[in-house]
Amino acid sequence: METLGKGSSVLIHLNHLKENYLQIKDRFPQCEILFMVKANAYGHGAVEVARYSYRELGIKEFGLASLSEAIEIRDHLPEMKAELYVFSDLELEFSESKETYLNKRILPVISNWEDLEIILNDGEFEHLPLCLKFNTGMNRLGFLHDEVEAVIERLKKAGKTEVHHLMSHFANGSLSMETNKRNQVQRERFMAIKETFIKAGLKLEKTSLGNSGAIEQGIGGDETHLRPGLMMFGPSSLAPLHKKEGWFKGRVVSELKAKVLKVFPVKKGDPLGYGSTPCGEDGVVAIFSLGYGDGITTQFRNAKFTHKGEVAKVCARVCMDMTYLLFPVGSKIQRGDEISLWDEDSDNFEALSESVNAIPYELVIQLTSRVPRIYQLD
Ligand SMILES: *Cc1c(COP(=O)(O)O)cnc(C)c1O
């Protein structure tokens, strides 16, 4: 990490993560946070993000997609006494996985009958806390909401008296929680599922439903836990029409820095780079040190960036390791300048992701390992 020869990097501002987290805790003081750090903590570095969140923020539960993601965190942070949940790729059908779950204290979130049978039929799993996910309308993983009686019957037959964590997941968290019919139905179904468990005499230790979009609208606080991912990293999940329904104003945790390698004046029509793309207007070209090999994909061909008050547009084709930016005539941009392609401003970050036809989730995730992550506490 000391030698940053490429001159480009992504700064991870952990103090922004803290501020975003405190905003959620402030709004929902009664809830615990199960922080979703799947996909390498949305590209920010799962181990570093989990370490900071555990030590500095006191977060004690983390969500991963696959067993290997959970193993990575457990092995790198052996002293961490947090619960690690695996949500989708459980690999329970492999006998080696059983040892891993038990020895490394990892919790599989059971969402289908095959996996449920595996853990109920194996005596060694007897003391494994039972985590269940129901499908209330997302139609991805999860027991069907109308299978709840059958699930309860099976659990009782196996002698279970409690569920450690019962969950469901919104399909339309970016849309209104109040007026969107599908969101209403999902909330009602989850409530009904919980009631059925309780009436059947099964204790529900923890429950969670809200992801970022719901949390941003103040929904999810009836459960013991919230499961935010994206908002912890700053961007909003809300669709533009619903932004006003949100209370949250996040600071983007990542800041992508690149170095200007060359600056030269151009005239409209001058050929630039591969394919000799004609320049659209007069101006000043600055070539910066990131390209599609770093995650600045060819989708950035229409991106706009703001640098020291000047708006620069990507021009010419994105190269593997460099990108052309067109600044206005008279620009002060210079060779050797450092530019931030995005910073803490979440509105700019969301506008940038829209201009490249991506969702905010993708921009950091798609940065490749060529771009060093540098962690900053302030
Ligand atoms: C990814 C994920 C979340 C977090 O979603 P965000 O929209 O990033 O807040 C919550 N729950 C489940 C099951 C997930 O897969």
pLDDT band at residue 41 using 50, 70 and 90 as cut-offs: very high
SS3 101: helix
Record the tokens describing residue 375, joined without a space: 């962690």
Instruction: For residue range 355-366, list pLDDT tens digits in order.
Output: 999 999 999 999
Specify the residue with its C-alpha closest to ligand 1, atom 8. Answer: 229
Which atom of ligand 1 is nearest the CA belonging to 173?
A: 7
pLDDT band at residue 88 using 50, 70 and 90 as cut-offs: very high
* CA–centroid distance, residue 91 to ligand 1 (Å): 20
Q: How far apart (Å, rounded) are the C-alpha atoms in residues 231 and 236?
A: 6
Which atom of ligand 1 is nearest the CA belonging to 213?
A: 7
CA distances from 360 to 252, 257, 346 (A): 10, 17, 10
* CA–centroid distance, residue 34 to ligand 1 (Å): 10
**pLDDT beyond 90 at 301:** yes
Those residues whose C-beta lies under 8 Å from the C-beta of residue 88, and which sit 6 or more positions away, are: 65, 66, 141
**pLDDT beyond 90 at 306:** no
Those residues whose C-beta lies under 8 Å from the C-beta of residue 375, and which sit 6 or more positions away, are: 12, 14, 45, 48, 52
CA-based nearest residue to 369, from 290, 294, 291? 294
SS3 279: coil
Record the tokens describing residue 160, joined without a space: 């279970």
Which atom of ligand 1 is nearest the CA belonging to 133?
A: 13
Q: How far apart (Å, rounded) are the C-alpha atoms in residues 40 and 47?
A: 8
pLDDT band at residue 240 using 50, 70 and 90 as cut-offs: confident
**pLDDT beyond 80 at 4:** no
Q: Which of 36, 136, 359 to mutate to test the pocket of ligand 1 (most atoms within 8 A of CB)?
A: 36
As to burial, measured by CB atoms within 10 angstroms (0-12 exposed, 13-18 middle, 19+ buried), residue 164 is middle
pLDDT (0 to 100) of residue 138? 97
Record the tokens describing residue 30, joined without a space: 């009664």
* CA–centroid distance, residue 216 to ligand 1 (Å): 13
In this prediction, residues 121-148 reach a mean pLDDT of 96
* CA–centroid distance, residue 123 to ligand 1 (Å): 31
Instruction: For residue range 160-217, list pLDDT tens digits in order.
Output: 999 999 999 999 999 999 999 999 999 999 999 999 999 999 999 999 999 999 999 9
* CA–centroid distance, residue 171 to ligand 1 (Å): 10
Measured at the alpha carbon of residue 37, what is the angle toward residues 18 and 225, in degrees to the nearest 5? 75
Instruction: For residue range 320-335, list pLDDT tens digits in order.
Output: 999 999 999 999 999 9
SS3 55: helix
Q: Which of 169, 215, 364 to mutate to test the pocket of ligand 1 (most atoms within 8 A of CB)?
A: 169
Q: How far apart (Å, rounded) are the C-alpha atoms in residues 266 and 280?
A: 10
Share of the chain above pLDDT 70, in %: 98
pLDDT (0 to 100) of residue 7? 75
**pLDDT beyond 60 at 5:** no
Cβ(237)–Cβ(269) below 8 Å: no
pLDDT band at residue 293 using 50, 70 and 90 as cut-offs: very high
pLDDT (0 to 100) of residue 1? 47
pLDDT (0 to 100) of residue 358? 94
Q: How far apart (Å, rounded) are the C-alpha atoms in residues 308 and 25?
A: 34
* CA–centroid distance, residue 1 to ligand 1 (Å): 30
pTM above 0.75, yes or no: yes
